[in-house]
Amino acid sequence: MKILDRYLIKNFLITYVFVAFVIVLIICMIDYTEKVDDFLDKKAPLNEIIIDYYFNLIPYWINYISPLMVFIATVFFTSRIAARTEIIAMLSSGISFGRMLLPYMVGATVLGFLTFIQVGWILPKANKVRNSFEKTYVKQEFYFSGHNVHITIAPDVYAYLESYNTMTKTGNKFTMETIKGNVLLQKFYADKIVWQPKKGKWTLQNYQVRTLDSLGEKLRAGAEIDTTINLSPKDFESDYNLFETFTLPELNAYIDLLKSRGADGLEVYLIEKYIRFTQPFAILILTAIGVIVSARKSRRGVGWQIALGFMLAFIYILFFLLSKGVAEAGTINTLFAVWLPNIVFSCIGLILYKTLPR
């Protein structure tokens, strides 16, 4: 059985690499035709286009559609050996269908493990370079245009800025209030708030601190003071695909920061975190379904089975996108919404395994 296992694993992985190469090549060609005008208008250097952008775009797309590519590769390879009656020969020799499925699952486990390492630690670093390139040569230059900005920087602590300049890292008319229930405990006011990169602190100019307690009100004022606030210049920079640039530990830390602030927009980062854990399982589930639906020798030929594989894969992606949209809207639990496609397709896989004749 070791020879057969090696044969199935090797050809399964080779087929996956071939499918990934073809699909990603097509995606890169389409992407280039859409962005070539931007590259020319902003005079993007050729070496940056190739190395900074496309060398980092390729692993992004390989990861993004890896469940689809694994499923297509499984159906493509399995339907071919089924058409050559190789699967019939295997089953006739006394090998159970579950045992024949084992090498596929080993190959899928390898791909799932590599995918988890990639999305957790490797791909975010590539995304930083790619996103930086896009912000420079594809997207419009970012300027923070918000006025009368309200930010929750900690539970019961609220900050306000009339305006903020991203170039000078300076905010105007800064207010920070500590409110417990409906009671104002402290109010911090400054004409200007300036970021000091060497100190890692904010300098507040022409400030006043008003503290209220049971004994009355205390007022303190001064020309300038350095202070640490749960706020940084990054909070005012472009957040274009920011969630893609965090490694798994960084993503967890950022989620904790948003929770400590009680800030909105937490769902996007939770979804990103949960997706990184669901992808390896999606690869396993779709591999099993791919083998089940394509292991029979069909009278309609290999083309029909490949088309069926495409259809099921796109149904999975559609289902995944719908559940992701529901999770972003916050109408159902985020963790449940992200795992729902895997749960549903696991049930479909079990039903197919029990009902389809082989």
- Whether the per-residue pLDDT at 104 is higher than 90: the answer is yes
Give residue-wise pLDDT tens across range 159-212: 999 999 988 999 999 999 999 888 999 999 999 999 999 999 999 999 999 998
Which residues lie across from 221 on neighbouring strands?
208
Region of residue 307 (phi > 0: left; psi between -120 and 50: alpha; otherwise: beta) = alpha
Could you tell me the pLDDT band of residue 305, with boundaries at 50, 70 and 90?
Answer: low
Q: How far apart are CA 302 and CA 77, in angstroms?
A: 10
Token readout for 165 is 């300049």
> Distances in Å between the alpha carbon of 83 and those of 4, 219, 234, 299, 312?
17, 85, 57, 9, 20
CB atoms within 10 A of CB 132: 16
Give residue-wise pLDDT tens across range 320-358: 888 888 888 878 899 999 999 999 999 988 988 888 765
Question: By the 8 A CB rule, do 229 and 207 touch?
Answer: no
Alpha helix ranges (H) inside the chain:
2-41, 46-47, 55-64, 66-83, 86-92, 97-117, 123-137, 248-261, 266-294, 302-329, 334-355
SS3 314: helix
Beta strand pairing call for 201-213 and 183-196: antiparallel
The model carries a pTM of 0.88
Local structure of residue 50 (DSSP, 8 states): I
100-115 burial, b at 16+ Cβ within 10 Å, e below that, comes to bbebbbebbeebbeeb
Give residue-wise pLDDT tens across range 119-145: 999 999 999 999 999 999 999 878 788
Which residues lie across from 187 on neighbouring strands?
177, 210
Is residue 129 exposed (0-12), middle (13-18) or buried (19+ Cβ within 10 Å)? Answer: middle
Q: How far apart are CA 295 and CA 346, in angstroms?
A: 18
The predicted structure's pLDDT at residue 358: 57
When pLDDT is averaged across residues 95-103 and rounded to a whole number, the result is 92
